[in-house]
């Protein structure tokens, strides 16, 4: 199900859970509290999301698509700026960034693929169509990984970087990936 296909009730549930995650964390929120925040009956939450995994996956996808939504870049070479902006958005809402990242990193069955992958593929096809399949796959994989909440969490937890340093490091890495293909641009 895509975000556009959500019912008003489902969106209210996901928005309520996201708010509560920011307030108290994801482990401390009961279906009863989510229902109360959403203004619905507890059984309605269970009917829409029968398990915690269902609720977590749907919430992570909703957060990524709404609260961390990105404007589409017009060029593959604009991606470093988009990555920088994404890192700043994650840093502004760290609890939600952790939920998105941990859902993806756990490899939970049903986790959505990289939200920007198809867009990156279209940009590469249009601007650098001469890449062979292996090069194309490597560029897409690197840029998709860099433009993720997982990268933000890694830079924050493992390297102790602050907001500006995270944005700079991710944008620099994206530039380094793109430097390898700049001379192959088709205009």
Pick from 66, 81, 115: which residue ends a domain?
66
The answer, yes or no, to whether residue 82 has pLDDT greater than 90, is yes
The answer, yes or no, to whether residue 14 has pLDDT greater than 70, is yes
86 and 138 co-located in one domain: yes
76 and 40 co-located in one domain: no
Handedness of CA 129, 171, 107, 2 (dihedral sign): negative
102 and 176 co-located in one domain: yes
Instruction: Report pLDDT digits (tens) over 94-131.
Output: 999 999 998 887 655 555 556 688 899 999 999 999 99
Residue 38 lies in a domain: yes
Residue 3 lies in a domain: no
Enter the DSSP assignment of 63.
I
Pick from 51, 66, 81: which residue ends a domain?
66
For residue 34, give the CATH number of its domain: 1.10.10.60
Residue 186 lies in a domain: no
Range of the domain at 92: 70-180
Instruction: Report pLDDT digits (tens) over 160-179.
Output: 999 999 999 999 999 999 99
Q: Specify the pLDDT at position 5.
A: 86
CA distance 169 to 155: 8
Residue 52 lies in a domain: yes
15 and 94 co-located in one domain: no
Residue among 172, 148, 177 nearest 86 (CA): 148
Q: Specify the pLDDT at position 103.
A: 86
Q: Specify the pLDDT at position 113.
A: 57
Residue 57 lies in a domain: yes
57 and 118 co-located in one domain: no
Residue among 96, 103, 90 nearest 152 (CA): 90
Q: Which of 83-92, 105-114, 176-185 has the lowest mean pLDDT?
A: 105-114
Distances (CA, A) of 46 to 5, 98, 108: 18, 24, 19
53: enclosing H helix or E strand: helix 52-62
User: Is residue 86 a contact partner of residue 115, using CB atoms and an 8 Å limit?
Assistant: no
Number of domains in the chain: 2
Handedness of CA 133, 134, 137, 143 (dihedral sign): negative
Instruction: Report pLDDT digits (tens) over 15-56.
Output: 999 999 999 987 779 999 999 999 999 999 999 999 998 999
61 and 84 co-located in one domain: no
101 and 24 co-located in one domain: no
Residue 1 lies in a domain: no
96 and 149 co-located in one domain: yes
61 and 136 co-located in one domain: no
171 and 83 co-located in one domain: yes
Residue 169 lies in a domain: yes
SS3 category, 25: coil
For the whole model, what pTM was predicted? 0.86
Q: Which of 4-8, 85-89, 95-99 has the lowest mean pLDDT?
A: 4-8
The answer, yes or no, to whether residue 187 has pLDDT greater than 70, is no
96 and 43 co-located in one domain: no
């Amino acid at each position: 199900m895509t975000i556009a296909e959500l019912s008003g009730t489902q969106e209210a549930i996901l928005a309520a859970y996201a708010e509560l995650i920011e307030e108290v964390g994801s482990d401390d929120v009961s279906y009863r509290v989510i229902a109360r925040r959403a203004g619905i009956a507890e059984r309605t939450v269970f009917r829409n999301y029968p398990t915690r995994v269902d609720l977590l996956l749907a919430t992570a996808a909703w957060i990524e698509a709404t609260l961390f939504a990105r404007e589409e870049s017009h060029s593959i070479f604009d991606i470093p700026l988009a990555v920088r902006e994404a890192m700043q958005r994650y840093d502004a809402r760290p609890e939600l960034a952790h939920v998105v990242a941990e859902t993806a990193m756990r490899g939970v069955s049903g986790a959505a693929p990289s939200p920007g992958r198809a867009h990156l593929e279209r940009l590469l096809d249009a601007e650098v169509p001469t890449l062979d399949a292996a090069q194309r796959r490597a560029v897409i994989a690197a840029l998709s990984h860099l433009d993720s909440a997982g990268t933000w969490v890694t830079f924050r937890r493992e390297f102790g970087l602050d907001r500006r340093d995270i944005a700079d490091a991710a944008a620099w890495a994206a530039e380094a990936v793109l430097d390898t293909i700049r001379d192959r641009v088709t205009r």
